[in-house]
């Protein structure tokens, strides 16, 4: 009988320990997510709906900054090597959706300043490329984009072919999607935070 009681007591203690470990792990996970999201928000700059982080890759960054950069950016470089902007919503605050058509208008002389190249990529919200009829997943300074009179450039981001603007078409998935703009060896205006990417406008 004493052996049975000891076994029952041990099982009770063991169950309590397991329960405590599970509860503690869940609490730690939730807490770390809250801290991480707060850190991402603290180091992110948002202008015209585009999110960017300039602190990534810098010597001396603490573990929270490094983890935040790894969570939200496709790669971690110092801003002097590459600058990244991302967005998942349009100028109205609604999520980017292939059911709508959008335009990204760069005024003359306002393309991302760089000493290498720039590109605009479309993916699903998880960062995966989605197949499209023309196998085009990004556009940039090497895409032969057509310039408007006066030197401005319009990029048409939509699921269907924009008649008459095929050269500037960035095909979007049918559902929700994300845009990522990259500038490699960005210019001084980017590094100083003076360059702002234009908004993505939903077309009527």
31 and 85 in a common domain: no
Is 145 found in the same domain as 54?
Answer: yes
- pTM for the model stands at 0.78
Q: Which residues contact 8 (CB under 8 A, 6 or more apart)?
A: none
Whether 183 and 133 map to the same domain: the answer is: yes
Q: Which two tokens stand for residue 50?
A: 């585009």
Domain that holds residue 38: 1-43
- pLDDT one-digit tens code per residue, 145-172: 999 999 999 999 999 999 999 999 999 9
The CATH number covering residue 180 comes to 2.60.120.600
Domain count, the chain: 2
Please write the tens of the pLDDT for every residue from 97-132: 999 999 999 999 999 999 999 999 999 999 999 999
Distance CA 89, CA 70 (A): 21
Q: Is the dihedral of CA 54, 73, 112, 50 positive or negative?
A: negative
pLDDT digits (tens, 9 = 90+) for 18-57: 555 565 444 444 444 576 567 666 678 899 999 988 877 6
- Are 6 and 87 members of one domain? no
Containing H/E element for 36?
helix 2-43
């Amino acid at each position: 009988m004493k052996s049975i009681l000891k076994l029952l007591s041990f099982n009770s203690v063991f169950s309590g320990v397991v329960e405590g470990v599970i509860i503690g792990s869940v609490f730690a996970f939730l807490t770390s997510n809250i801290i991480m999201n707060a850190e991402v928000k603290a180091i992110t700059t948002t202008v015209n709906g585009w999110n960017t982080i300039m602190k990534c890759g810098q010597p001396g960054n603490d573990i929270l900054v490094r983890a935040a950069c790894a969570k939200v950016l496709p790669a971690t470089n110092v801003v002097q090597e590459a600058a990244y902007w991302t967005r998942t919503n349009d100028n109205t605050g609604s999520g980017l959706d292939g059911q709508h058509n959008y335009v990204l208008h760069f005024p003359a002389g306002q393309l991302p300043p760089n000493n290498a190249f720039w590109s605009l990529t479309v993916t699903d919200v998880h960062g995966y490329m989605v197949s499209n009829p023309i196998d085009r997943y990004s556009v940039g300074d090497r895409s032969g984009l057509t310039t408007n009179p006066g030197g401005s450039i319009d990029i048409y981001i939509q699921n269907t072919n924009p008649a008459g603007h095929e050269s500037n078409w960035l095909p979007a998935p049918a559902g929700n999607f994300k845009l990522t703009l990259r500038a490699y060896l960005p210019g001084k205006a980017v590094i100083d935070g003076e360059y702002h990417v234009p908004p993505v406008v939903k077309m009527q």
